Structure 1
């Protein structure tokens, strides 16, 4: 069995940041949370079918390019950066490991906005994470750092524990699988196709990517993050895009090195996902 692994985020200590899966036929099956037919096969977006103003800025001390859409700072389609992250006011110190921005004791405090429909997708996603990982989710009482699941224009999240109240945004079309993916971001996981070593495993076909979505495919180090790639690229990761994600012309945007394509997977955490979270938490 492969010891596939997601890249795990090393964080900006003073900013407090902690940052979808094609399943090849030979890839080990992910732990299911529902039938495959019930899962959205599109990659997550904060604002579906919208592109905004491209902004060059900094994340900590590193230059990044992100989009300004409806007043939000959007990185890689579904990652929301705070104003303090893209406009730091003090000296930024890079942490060499995953020792900041994690949820202390692997406990995530949360609330669910009463206006959010179909709340079972949230509770089912939480149950899935708790079944297969050491992370625990506890309903918030007075804790200062917590996640609120609320209605959004698409599916999106902050990345890692940023301090204070943060959000996982879910439109009506965001499934349980999409929610598991966004929780992964909130815990600090990158998109799998942005690994620094990804060129060993895949081809990125930039000529087929929709205009305005090119930054969804850049390596996380190019986006200003420092992290670690564990094991081989996981084609079965719930954080991995599929071969046709954000295609402009029906042709693949990502293939394996031999040119073959693979599907996106939103059924549940892969074995590699679970192993990476075990290392991280």
Structure 2
């Protein structure tokens, strides 16, 4: 998987402010040729874990990337976005549905003349581990 802003169609979504890019870091904003990369038929993902925030590699603190759609925040480093997950599932041929497990639990404690019932609690757990050397680049 490659950085989102390296997609062949990135100029339809963001603009690189070259004068704000640190000298020697310009390659981080290169765009791949459509013959060399497969976008897995996913839309451009401003919120992808693999999208640079707006001021990455800035020489002066100013923006190096600007969304052509005003008000959009670029990138994040917390979690896979829904479109990141969609791309991974497509790449590995997984089904489109996401499965989570919920387990209701009820506990009743009885003491002489006192009964306490706790309300059911729902626990949702999602765990994903991806280890691969398979590339989605063409060729």
Runs of 4 or more consecutive aligned structure 1 residues displaced over 4 Å after TM superposition: 258-261
Residue 209 (structure 1) aligns with: 21
Q: C-alpha distance in 2, partners of 1:260/1:217? A: 21
Is the partner of 1:228 in helix, strand or coil? coil
Q: 1:227 maps to which residue? A: 37
Say whether the 8 Å CA contact 2:47–2:76 is kept in structure 1.
yes
More strand per residue: 1
Runs of 5+ unmatched residues, structure 2 = 93-139
Q: Give how far 1:237 is off.
A: 0.6
After superposition, residues 77-92 of structure 1 pair within 5 angstroms as: none
Q: Residue by residue, what CA displacement relative to the aligned partner does 1:230-270 show, whole Å, maximum 9, x if unpaired? A: 23210111011000000001110001114656253111111
CA distance in 1, matches of 2:74, 2:7: 18
**Mapping of 1:91-240 within 5 angstroms?**
189-221=1-33, 226-229=36-39, 230-240=41-51
User: TM-score, normalization: structure 1?
Assistant: 0.31
Q: Which runs of 5+ in 1 are unaligned?
A: 1-188
C-alpha displacement at 1:201, in angstroms?
0.5
TM-score, normalised relative to structure 2: 0.60
Q: Which residue of 2 aligns with 1:273?
A: 84
Paired residue secondary structure (1:255): strand
Give secondary structure in 1 for the equivalent of 2:15.
strand
Name the counterpart of 1:253: 64
Which of the pair has the greater relative contact order for Cα pairs under 8 Å at 6+ separation?
Answer: 1
The one-character-per-residue Cα deviations of 1:13-32 (angstroms, maximum 9, x if unpaired) are: xxxxxxxxxxxxxxxxxxxx
How big is each residue's C-alpha offset from its partner over 1:132-179, in whole Å with a ceiling of 9 and x where there is no partner? xxxxxxxxxxxxxxxxxxxxxxxxxxxxxxxxxxxxxxxxxxxxxxxx
Larger radius of gyration: 2
Question: Do 2:67 and 2:74's aligned partners in 1 also have CA atoms closer than 8 Å?
Answer: no
- Taking the aligned partners of 1:261 and 1:249, their CA distance within structure 2 comes to 21
Supply the RMSD in Å over aligned alpha carbons.
1.9
1:276 counterpart SS class: helix
